[in-house]
A and B are shown apart, each in its own frame.
Chain A
Amino acid sequence: MAKFKTHMLVCGGTGCRASASDVLYENLKKEVKEKGLENDVQVVTTGCFGFCEQGPIVKMIPDNTFYVGVQPKDAADIVAEHALKGRKVDRLLYKDPVKKEHVPDSKHMGFYKKQIRIALRNCGLIDPENVNEYLAADGYEALGKVLLEMTPEEAIQIVIDSGLRGRGGGGFPTGVKWKIAQGVKGAQKYVVCNADEGDPGAFMDRSILEGDPHTVLEAMAINGYCIGATKGLIYIRAEYPLAIHRLKVAIAQAREYGLLGEDILGSGYNFDIELRYGAGAFVCGEETALIHSMEGHRGEPTFKPPFPAESGYLGMPTNVNNVETYANIPVIFNKGAKWFASIGTEKSKGTKVFALAGKINNVGLIEVPMGITLREVIFEIGGGIKGGKKFKAVQTGGPSGGCLTEKHLDTPIDYDNLIASGSMMGSGGMIVMDEDDCMVSVAKFYLDFTVEESCGKCSPCRIGNKRLYEILEKITKGHGAMDDLDKLRNLSNVIKDTSLCGLGQTSPNPVLSTLDNFYDEYLAHITEGKCFASQCKDLIKYEIIPENCVGCTACARNCPVNCISGERKQIHLIDQSLCIKCGACMEKCKFNAVTII
């Protein structure tokens, strides 16, 4: 067999596919064939590289050249120049946002320097639809070892020793969860993978399922053996079609190899996995709601206890873990609990995947060791704030989390520190905000989401969140009063204390943390009628500065409601009663004559 001297890894994640990376893949294959390089160059579709901001990505092996924003038509240049003559195509190289220079390969990119990839180890390395590549990357080795060389108790002890905690948000020790499920007796036990990822801006689980589906299957089989379950279910959102497709392919391949099914690897252990689709309700990420949804009932949470480990799917003992938690399992068995526990902080071991989003240069997916600081994540990996603006806050934990500010930048990130700072780990969304973001509006945005997603079972959550939203709306419109701030705080605490599930218990967090950290912004809205970030339309006014206006008529011509009057070469005037505050005049004015007051 000929040995490939160059591998071209083309990202096949949802983000890059949306920018035609599938067409690019076909074009690269065609060009390679035309140039007669089929035996030298291998073109492979892989999972997500994490650098989604500038997709589609093509990575060249062995020199690690990292091409960004590659269009299907660039295939010819890459093959003719790089594959044939070894010359990098400069125009496609990543440009450092600060130094404005081309970066020759991924080893020199700040984005990758501080990352440690465990859960994402195979994303961007192997072809997710080819089980042989997964086998080559130590795939199913851990399952084999566990089934044939360990008792369930020994295997569970390894997970406990590793210190792995649930990556879905709660941070419950995974090994302990398995031990509890193992100890309960039942005619049929179940293992469930929670792939109902719903935080705004989060796509950690999707990327793992798209880039390395076999790792989740392998971990679920290990989990099944440990607790004595023979059936596994993956609860996944129907809105993740590519992840579903790759899971189906992976399950079929694993069955053909006998890695799922009966008598796996001659061990006598049987295990199989089925998919269950969710309609995309945030509350179904809560394990009891998820189980009800899988049973065909309304996705509503129920009181715990009984915990799913005692009475879960169809009333049977069930263990639920999140996708990212599972992705860590095979590595823990291959490299050892000690190795895993050596990464991270005292109480939070290993790494965490974050979806970096918002006003940051390198938007994308990263995996960093626990204990890294926000400053390193935002300014080194994330490449700093877009457009050189000033950092204001970062929201972690999605709608259940809180805002962290400048004073938290040097706090090591782990489960406990984030909670102490008034936020939480959550599933790993990280939204960065700059000086142009109004924090009252940010709180309102998250409340809008929770109001929509509340299942309606508990009144404090169903009605209380709506009231919180209305008070915030009132403040952003300039009608707020000082006692509204007390109402916000009191109501928030009531909702937290009296809701049944995690959704209600955490939904007021964005309000409370913005109140704590940005009290002056709330005050300015209420007492002065001012929005520092000029985001609240009811609190701002566009005006023309007479000294700067030359009467070019550009603003008047572009005003969609014709509320600007003034003759050519005369000073113009905005009619405030008609102005809709769209900002078109300010955008069009070349003389800085329009201002916001």
Chain B
Amino acid sequence: MTKIKSLADLRNMKADLQSKIALREKSDNPEGRVQIKVAMATCGIASGAKEVMEFLVEELDKRNIDAIVSQTGCMGYCYAEPTIEVTLPNQEPVVFGYVDSKKADDIIEKYIKTGELLEGIIPVNYEKID
């Protein structure tokens, strides 16, 4: 380890290190952020959910969107895998089906950035119990 010689050095280091625990700090306060759940049951993983999740995590970060991406179990839409559920702050969740990297890109650019709805939305047929 080299010595930190100034306050500027310390702040640079912090900026580099921050991503290490950013996820932990963010998840402490999820309400104000975009929350995305990727269905990662066997069916989802087999259809490429893992790659979609990877893509979302990378791209949201690159495009400076404050979001929490987590994985969840089977959502029940096995015919339309990979499926993801997107919850914008203070809005009802929306589920998208047949999501690949291209579709995920569309979702980020259109739905997440501008709120514009896309094709391929699966009407939610479940209620969440709080």
Contacts and interface: CB of A to CB of B under 8 A. Distances in A.
Q: Do A and B come from one complex?
A: yes
Nearest to A5: B57
Contacts of A5: 53-54, 57, 69-71
Nearest to B41: A85
Nearest to A127: B21
Contact of B24 (A9, A88, A145): A9
A3 B19 contact: yes
Of the listed residues B4, B6, B40, B41, the one surrounded by the most CB atoms of chain A closer than 10 A to its CB is B4
B4 to A, nearest CB: 5
A481 B11 CA distance: 70
A53 interface: no
B21 A64 contact: no
B5 A87 contact: no
B4 A259 contact: yes
Contacts of B38: 86
A140 to B, nearest CB: 6
A148 B6 CA distance: 9
Given A3-B19, A133-B21, A86 B6 contact: no
Nearest to A81: B73
Contacts of A48: none
Interface string B52-92: 01100110010000001111110000000000000000000
A64 B72 CA distance: 12
B5 to A, nearest CB: 5
Contacts of B22: 136
B7 A148 contact: yes
A138 interface: yes
Interface string A133-151: 1011111110011011100
B26 interface: yes
Nearest to A9: B24
A7 B28 CA distance: 13
Given A4-B23, A62-B26, A126-B21, A86 B40 contact: yes
B3 interface: yes
A560 interface: no
A257 interface: yes
Contacts of B9: 265
Interface in B80-128: none
Interface residues of B, number: 42
B6 A266 contact: yes
Interface residues of A, number: 40
Interface in A80-98: 84-88
B129 to A, nearest CB: 9
A95 to B, nearest CB: 16
A4 B23 CA distance: 9
Nearest to B27: A62
A63 B37 CA distance: 9
A268 to B, nearest CB: 12
Contacts of A87: 41, 73
A180 interface: no
Interface in A18-50: none
A132 B17 contact: yes
A519 B13 CA distance: 62
A265 B10 contact: yes
A88 B37 CA distance: 14
A58 to B, nearest CB: 14
A256 interface: yes
Contacts of B45: 85
Contacts of B13: 135
A88 B3 CA distance: 43
A86 B41 CA distance: 7
A256 B42 contact: no
Contacts of B72: 63, 86
Contact of A125 (B7, B14, B21): B21
A88 B70 CA distance: 12
A150 to B, nearest CB: 12
Interface string A119-131: 0000001100000
Contacts of A145: 7
Nearest to A65: B70
Interface in B20-39: 20-28, 30, 38-39
A61 interface: yes
Contacts of B6: 148, 265-266
A253 B14 CA distance: 16
A6 B71 CA distance: 9
B7 A144 contact: yes
A137 B22 CA distance: 9
A258 interface: yes
B15 to A, nearest CB: 9
B73 A135 contact: no
Contact of A85 (B4, B21, B73): B73
A6 B1 CA distance: 28
A125 B40 CA distance: 26
Contact of A136 (B1, B4, B20): B20
Given A3-B57, A86-B41, A135-B13, A125 B5 contact: no
A109 to B, nearest CB: 13
22 contacts: A3-B19, A3-B57, A5-B54, A6-B70, A62-B69, A62-B70, A85-B40, A85-B41, A86-B38, A86-B72, A125-B28, A132-B20, A135-B14, A136-B17, A136-B19, A138-B14, A141-B14, A145-B7, A256-B3, A257-B4, A258-B5, A265-B4
Interface of A: 3-7, 9, 61-64, 84-88, 107-108, 125-126, 132-133, 135-141, 144-145, 147-149, 253, 256-259, 265-266
Given A133-B20, A256-B1, 13 more contacts: A7-B23, A7-B24, A61-B27, A64-B27, A85-B41, A86-B40, A107-B30, A125-B25, A125-B28, A136-B17, A259-B4, A266-B6, A266-B7
Closest 6 CB pairs of A and B: A258-B3, A86-B71, A62-B27, A136-B17, A87-B73, A144-B7
